[in-house]
């Protein structure tokens, strides 16, 4: 059973199995695999699941990803909770029962062990991952999510250069100003 908002862009090569819900404005990129043989996978609004990401559930935990998140290339997300406005770096692994607090960044290649609770506004890196710094990255993470939303809309129309040219630079400047003032959130309340 899948509950996918009609605005979600899903690449044809993505493979989704089991109970999955994906919120408004999100995108699922090439070669993503989401499997939920038990529990469920919940992907929030305006979240991008990038190329080759693996999302799976665990016993006894579901996998919950919040709004305005970026799960970047080759990340593995397994039976955990990722709160709103987070970025999970390239090749990172987040394991069963872990909780990544709102506005955090998990660095590329990091391995967040089972049950680790990352406070909101953290920068996490290493194997095993440790909190290396505290900084609320909600706004830059939202800018990244908006960029992927724009990119997905372009891809859906067969246009593969959404991040190029003066139109993009103008759009990005407006979006960064909207995010800085939290005006972007008014669109998704």
Q: What's the confidence (pLDDT) of residue 60?
A: 85
Burial readout 96-113 (b: 16 or more C-beta within 10 A, e: otherwise): bbbbbbbbbbbbbbbbbe
pLDDT for 107-117, tens place per residue? Answer: 999 999 999 99
Whether 189 has a pLDDT exceeding 60, the answer reads no
3-state class of 134 per DSSP?
strand
**CATH classification code of 2-134:** 2.160.10.10
Q: What is the mean pLDDT of residues 160-181?
A: 96
Q: Are strands 122-125 and 130-134 parallel, antiparallel or unpaired?
A: antiparallel
26: left (phi over 0), alpha (psi -120 to 50) or beta: beta
pLDDT band at 85 (very low <50, low <70, confident <90, very high): very high
What is the C-alpha separation between 65 and 75, in angstroms, rounded? 13
Write down the pTM of the prediction. Answer: 0.97
Q: What's the confidence (pLDDT) of residue 106?
A: 98
Report the run of H or E that residue 87 belongs to, with start and end. strand 87-88
Q: What's the confidence (pLDDT) of residue 187?
A: 74
């Amino acid at each position: 059973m899948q509950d996918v908002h009609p605005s979600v862009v899903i690449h044809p090569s993505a493979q989704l199995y089991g109970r999955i819900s994906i919120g408004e404005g999100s995108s699922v990129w090439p070669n993503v695999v989401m499997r939920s043989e038990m529990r469920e996978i919940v992907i929030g609004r305006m979240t991008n699941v990038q190329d080759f990401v693996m999302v799976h559930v665990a016993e006894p935990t579901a996998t919950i990803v919040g709004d305005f998140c970026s799960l970047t290339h080759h990340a593995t997300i397994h039976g955990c909770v990722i709160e709103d406005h987070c970025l999970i770096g390239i090749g990172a692994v987040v394991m069963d029962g872990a909780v990544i607090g709102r506005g955090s960044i998990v660095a590329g290649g990091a391995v967040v062990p089972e049950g680790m609770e990352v406070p909101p506004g953290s920068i996490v890196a290493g194997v095993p991952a440790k909190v290396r710094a505290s900084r609320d990255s909600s706004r830059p993470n939202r800018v990244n999510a908006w960029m992927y939303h724009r990119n997905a809309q372009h891809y859906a129309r067969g246009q593969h250069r959404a991040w190029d040219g003066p139109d993009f630079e103008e759009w990005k400047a407006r979006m960064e100003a909207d995010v800085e003032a939290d005006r972007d959130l008014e669109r998704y309340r």
